[in-house]
């Protein structure tokens, strides 16, 4: 999630918020990724190399990941220059690091995010293993919304 979060930085997570409201595009969340995501890029189905993964493996890992929501249920998504293109609109994201030309920087064939699923991307687009490779995640795999940092002390703040 660099540059938004540094490696080793600690965050506070609201585990109750999403019991009362839906996650929003732009939320930074902690969640369980699909099985296989913790060991690299594993999609739940064979995927077209010009398309993001459209389905995760069927079970979640016990690991916790932190990423940003870039698309939600029913959205049509592709990727251009490392930026999500959601429902035909390219996201303006001045906070991300450049993609750098890796295989996930340009994925022009759109997918539709399934009902009750969310698509995650890290802010360091050139080095992030995220939903581009292992698919959108079901809402019930979301642990909560990160809302503040508390460690190290020089980086204390609210998102």
Give the tens place of pLDDT for each residue, 112-121: 999 999 999 9
Instruction: Report the DSSP pairing between strands 137-138 and 76-80.
Output: unpaired
- For residues 20, 23, 24, 25, the Cα torsion angle rounded to the nearest 10 degrees is 180
For residue 4, tell me if it sits in a domain: no
Residue environment code for 51-74, b if the CB has 16+ CB neighbours within 10 A, otherwise e: bbbbbbbeebbeeebbbbbbbbbe
Residue-wise pLDDT for 35-90, tens only, equals 999 877 789 999 888 899 999 999 999 999 999 999 999 999 999 999 999 999 99
C-alpha distances (whole Å) from 2 to each of 50, 66, 71, 122 are 25, 11, 20, 8
| 140 pLDDT above the threshold of 80 | yes
Tell me whether the omega of the peptide bond preceding residue 78 falls within 30 degrees of 0, making it cis: no
For residue 5, tell me if it sits in a domain: no
**DSSP notation for 49-91:** TTB---S--SSB-SS-EEEEEEE-TT-EEEEETTEEEETTEE-
Task: Report the CATH number at residue 144.
Answer: 2.10.109.10
Q: Which residue do the tokens 């585990």 mark?
A: 15
Average pLDDT score, the chain: 93
For residue 33, tell me if it sits in a domain: yes
For residue 24, tell me if it sits in a domain: yes
For residue 1, tell me if it sits in a domain: no
Number of domains in the chain: 1
Q: Compare 142 and 155 and report the one with higher pLDDT.
A: 142
- Structural domain including 116 reads 10-158
């Amino acid at each position: 999630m660099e540059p938004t979060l540094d490696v080793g930085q600690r965050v506070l997570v609201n585990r109750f918020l999403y019991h009362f409201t839906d996650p929003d595009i732009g939320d930074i969340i902690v969640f369980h990724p699909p099985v296989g995501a913790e060991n690299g890029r594993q999609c739940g189905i064979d995927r077209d190399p010009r398309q993001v993964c459209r389905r995760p493996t069927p079970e979640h890992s016990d690991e916790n990941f932190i990423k940003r929501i870039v698309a939600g249920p029913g959205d049509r998504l592709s990727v251009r220059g490392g930026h999500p293109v959601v429902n035909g609109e390219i996201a303006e994201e001045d906070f991300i690091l450049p993609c750098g030309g890796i295989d996930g920087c340009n994925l022009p064939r759109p997918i539709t995010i399934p009902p009750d699923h969310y698509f995650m991307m890290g802010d360091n687009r050139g080095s992030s293993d995220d939903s581009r490779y292992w698919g959108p995640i079901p809402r019930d795999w979301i642990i909560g919304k990160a809302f503040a940092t508390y460690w190290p002390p020089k980086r204390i703040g609210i998102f």
